[in-house]
Chains A and B, each alone.
Chain A
Amino acid sequence: MKNKECIAMLLAGGEGKRLGKLTKKIAKPAVFFGGKYRIIDFTLSNCTNSGIDTVGVLTQYHPLVLNHYIGIGKPWDLDRKEGGVSILPPFIKRKGGNWYKGTADAIYQNMDYIKQYNPEYVLIISGDHIYKMDYERMLRFHKEQKSDATIAVIEVKWKEVNRFGILSVDDNHRVTDFQEKPEETTSNLASMGVYIYTWKVLKQYLENDAVQSKSSHDFGKDIIPAMLNDGIQLTAYPFDGYWKDVGTIDSLWEANMDLLDDETTLKLNDRKWRIYSLNPNQPPQYIAASAIISNSLVNEGCIVFGEVRHSVLFYGVEIGQGSIIIDSVIMPNAKIGNNVTIYKAIVGEGSIIGDGSVVGSPESDEVTLVGNHESIPSEFLSVKEQMGI
């Protein structure tokens, strides 16, 4: 097979437990986001827009929807003669075989896939993050710094450092320290889970890590600390733009709301960096004379008779007469009846909300979740905080 300078390995096996009912039957990267997309569209589109045409997608948890969605990669222009997208589930070898035990193990078990392309560099990314990033620029940085491993970092709020892997760097971007979810630290540079490795270096570390019985086979917990310990060239690539880990109901809701902010740096309309997605072939949205829509994102196939404020509507959503939707995310093909009120909620795909029901409450700080394909009967007045975790 043709050699590739850089290929991508996309970790998409996340269970997404903290997304509760939304990930009951689908893997986290397949969760809907932004009125039209699934979370994984962002990383797949970043790859294709960055000129990376070979992407291995590592799946594990509930892969059916994800596998079907990715298909042969057509929507992202990844249906290529050489390379393209390959789905890589765990498999059985002559001597055993196992589930992926950690992120590093997932890559280790697929070394044969990588070797086919004999790449100089491997980009490792995760399918759970929302951001637009040019990996080609990061690769250029990796080469300029003569780095063995480059980790993309973003500044986070000081009070949130305990949620991330935090890196300390010197003036030359060289990583001097790495702490996983520290309570106290002198840096607020968080790892974005985007790595570029020089393949022959990474290969060595993966092989060494694989035989460590005490290792958790994880990039953040094992590989990076080992590299740091050995003092190889480990650099941090500073990224300033929108980046969000949408691992919880709250952060998923927040990230959707971020799209409605005029100042957001995540511009979905930017034609130079489009986010591609599988198209559901729906007609343009119909907004009735009785409808009021303000500060919202509305996709094709929606039909709106009621009021929608500061919300995100996916394709095929119906909002009945007299209904009011505020600060909410309504996922594909959900049918909202007449005179329904929805506050600060995520309403799952294909759910049905009966006439006169109330979902969430204006007083609550919590995000209310209605699961996929759930039905709320008419005149049901207290659908609140059904987190279902």
Chain B
Amino acid sequence: MKNVMGIINMINEPDQLEELTYHRNIASVPFAGRYRLIDFILSSMVNSGVTNVGIFTHTKYRSLMDHLGSGKEWDLDRKRSGLFILPPMKEGLDPTNGDLHTLNAHRDYLHRSSEEYVLISRSYMVCNIDFNGLQEFHNENKSDITVVYKETNDIDSFSTRIGMDDSGRVTSMWDPNASPHGNKVSMEMFFLKKSLLLDLIETSLAEGHHSLMKDAIRANIGRLNVFGYSYQGYLGIINTLNSYYRHSMNLLNPNVWRELFFEPGLIYTKIKDEAPTRHIDGGHTSNAMVANGCVIEGSVTNSILFRGVHICKGASVKNSIIMQNGVIHENTAIDHAIIDKDVIVKAERTLIGHERAPFIVVKRKVI
């Protein structure tokens, strides 16, 4: 895909990830054993040939900056273009500080980029998508804006549903808070000409609006040719705790594992140089996804271990997610829990949550 720049828009992202986003933004929430949510959309863009990506950050983006670095893991440390991190121009969460304002404040970046088209997206869509098909579809339909959607019955995340007529034209977009209409969920990815985007930003701001999706795109679906492009692969919309937990557990299906991480391209992330995982005699691993650098001396069932986790002898971890560098000491039992980074759970503890309400332990805690 040539002549397309990518924008990942983190301004006012819906976030009900509770403790997981107390100290980080949604884009940098750890997911799937070694990734951050943003890796999926960023890798998809790069694998599709995008070489200029603007990251519009909003709040709590220290850990995101650390994660992205110079962009070299995504091959975005280029002499020309590459990765651009564009922080907000105003402080705080003032609603008048919507994404239209920030996009406008950084319009020089948009002007200076040589690409004719823009692919604008959110950070929390877990998917693996080849956008080359999207560009072809857009041109064939002489579309003004093409929206990527997926047919799904996913109900535990915040998402916009779209209605389409028989020609594939998008006729309506329903607010996440409205009662669900149909099963076409917008993936909040919009493909359009850069000139149109700039025009929409300017016009909507002049009319006193704030939001790109609501005011600039949705308000214009009657006037513009907006088409829906269907995505067939695996999708997780990770903006609530329930969807985070459920989609994490879905990864334990080997078909999902094969599809999401390999097809059509690989997902890139920051490298940690951990050694292969050591499965010690007496340890037991069953239906689990385990990243590198772990040591498993206890029992791990239906769970996800991030990099550098240590499960000591006699410990039992079930239906849980243990993030980076977690240490679970002897004879501790953990079930239905999400344990954030650098947590130490001492010996003989019992942490039990529920499928709809997993036990959450915040970063760096000692239990």
Contacts and interface: CB of A to CB of B under 8 A. Distances in A.
A268 B257 CA distance: 27
Contact of B257 (A35, A74, A296, A303): A303
Interface of A: 34-36, 74-75, 262, 268-269, 274-277, 279, 281-289, 291, 293-300, 303, 308, 312-313
B267 A281 contact: yes
Given A294-B279, A295-B279, A283 B267 contact: yes
Given A274-B273, A297-B276, A299-B292, A288 B281 contact: no
Given A34-B276, A294-B279, 4 more contacts: A36-B292, A75-B273, A268-B275, A284-B305
A285 B304 CA distance: 10
A298 B267 contact: no
Nearest to B72: A74
B266 interface: yes
Contacts of B305: 284
Contact of A275 (B275, B289, B304): B275
Contacts of A269: 274-275, 278, 293, 295
**Interface size bracket, B side:** 35 or more
Given A284-B32, A284-B34, A289 B275 contact: no
A276 B273 contact: yes
A284 B285 CA distance: 14
A34 B285 CA distance: 21
A164 to B, nearest CB: 28
B254 A284 contact: no
Contacts of A276: 273
B271 interface: yes
A269 B266 CA distance: 26
A221 to B, nearest CB: 37
Given A269-B275, A295-B279, A297-B277, A281 B266 contact: yes
A344 to B, nearest CB: 18
19 contacts: A35-B275, A75-B273, A269-B275, A274-B273, A275-B275, A282-B266, A283-B34, A284-B32, A284-B290, A284-B304, A286-B289, A287-B285, A287-B288, A288-B254, A289-B287, A293-B279, A293-B283, A296-B278, A303-B254
B273 A296 contact: no
A383 to B, nearest CB: 25
B276 A284 contact: no
B277 A295 contact: no
B267 A288 contact: no
Interface of B: 32-34, 72, 252, 254, 257-258, 260-262, 266-269, 271, 273-283, 285-293, 295, 304-305
Contacts of A313: 276
Instruction: Decide if the interface of chain A is mainly helix, strand, loop or mixed.
Output: loop
Contacts of A298: 276-277, 279, 290
Query: What 4 pairs across the A-B complex have the smallest Cβ distances?
Result: A284-B33, A268-B275, A35-B276, A283-B261
A75 B304 CA distance: 27
A175 B289 CA distance: 53
A285 B261 contact: no
Contact of B271 (A275, A279, A287): A279
A286 B72 CA distance: 27
Given A281-B267, A286-B252, A291 B281 contact: no
B301 to A, nearest CB: 8
B291 A300 contact: yes
B80 to A, nearest CB: 19
B161 to A, nearest CB: 30
Contacts of A282: 261, 266
B277 A277 contact: no
A63 to B, nearest CB: 25
